[in-house]
Amino acid sequence: MTSAHRPCCAPAASPAAVVGTFPPAPGPAARPRSTRGQVRLPGGGFAMGDAFGEGYPADGETPVHAVRLKPFHIDETAVTNARFAAFVKETGHVTDAERHGSSAVFHLVVAAPEADVLGNAAGAPWWINVRGAHWRRPEGARSDITGRRNHPVVHVSWSDAAAYARWAGKRLPTEAEWEYAARGGLAGRRYAWGDELTPGGRWRCNIWQGRFPHVNTAEDGHVTTAPVKSYRPNGHGLWNTAGNVWEWCSDWFSPSYYADSPTADPHGPGTGTTRVLRGGSYLCHDSYCNRYRVAARSSNTPDSSSGNLGFRCANDADADDAAGEAS
């Protein structure tokens, strides 16, 4: 398994936790549409894809193609532990990681008894399958989220993210919406802030510094997740669209989709086995994974979870926005 063929920073669910092993979790009742915590974007045309030829061929970041989007809303930040806790408290939702009994934790931060360490991910030994790791205990049984209310929730599967979005009166963004929003109005740039990774010598995102996967110098101030309003927002007012946590999109993934993607409001292939992930995470490093670029894409199975998988929500903008903001 190479970074070109697997999600670079997020292993797929283990064989013991495949789709169908457990019955689907009951979904929460849909709430009225809400644009709480979202920014409204005007839509319009943009060039989607990798204009620099820096992507992995198996990720399908090319060809660069014209896309036109209707206006839409999108969360200004990834969903936090505090917001996810409110969802769980009201609905009783049990995440896939909790139902499966384990989730993937980066090897340097495991906080669990030895008996809870169930093995390494195939082809990515820096990922440890840890019994009892889930969103409330992100590093294992000896960890918790005290002091991390404003950090992005992690160990959430695509299915968990979709359930939260339904409860919140929102939906997951399409991949095209995500890239348009992440670009912040900058056309054809490598990152959400321009083409240079550290303009003026300053870090603008939470990724790995040092020698992956053993030494993280944390020059950007963080070893794992950062608060959702770290660094600076992009030109559209979105925070942390590069690094920090991978973010689920609504689309099924196909590496060949860009070749015949519709121009107007593409929603991805009609079927698939994995869902799109965008944005990279705190584990991305250019020595093996440069997917913190704004055009970069990855994917994983809908039931997979790990310590760097999160999400943000979106919404249509063709309803009464004032009513949504008041909810």
Count Cα atoms within 13 angstroms, Cβ side, for 21: 14
Residue 22 pLDDT > 80 = no
The tens digit of pLDDT for each residue in 93-115 reads 999 999 999 999 999 999 999 99
Direct distance between the N- and C-terminal alpha carbons of the chain, in angstroms, rounded to an integer: 46
Q: Determine which of 18-32, 207-221, 265-279 has the lowest per-residue pLDDT on average.
A: 18-32
Q: What distances in angstroms separate CA 2 from CA 7, 208, 288, one per listed residue?
A: 9, 18, 9
User: What does the pLDDT average to over 263-279?
Assistant: 97
List the structure tokens of 206.
């939470």
Three-class DSSP category at 181: helix
pLDDT above 90 covers a percentage of the chain that reads 84
Q: Determine which of 2-11, 187-196, 317-326 has the lowest per-residue pLDDT on average.
A: 2-11
Question: Tokens 């390494």 sit at which residue?
Answer: 120
pLDDT at 7: 44
> What are the strands, taking DSSP E only, across 51-123?
65-69, 72-75, 102-106, 117-121
**Residue 3 confidence class, pLDDT cut points 50, 70, 90:** very low
In this structure, are residues 73 and 35 in contact, taking their beta carbons and an 8 Å threshold?
yes
pTM: 0.92
Beta pairing, strands 65-69 & 44-48: antiparallel
325 sits in which H/E element: helix 321-326
Q: What distances in angstroms separate CA 268 from CA 139, 144, 145, one per listed residue?
A: 33, 36, 34
Peptide bond into 57 cis (omega under 30): no
The more confident residue out of 72 and 124 is 72
The tens digit of pLDDT for each residue in 218-248 reads 999 999 999 999 999 999 999 999 999 999 9
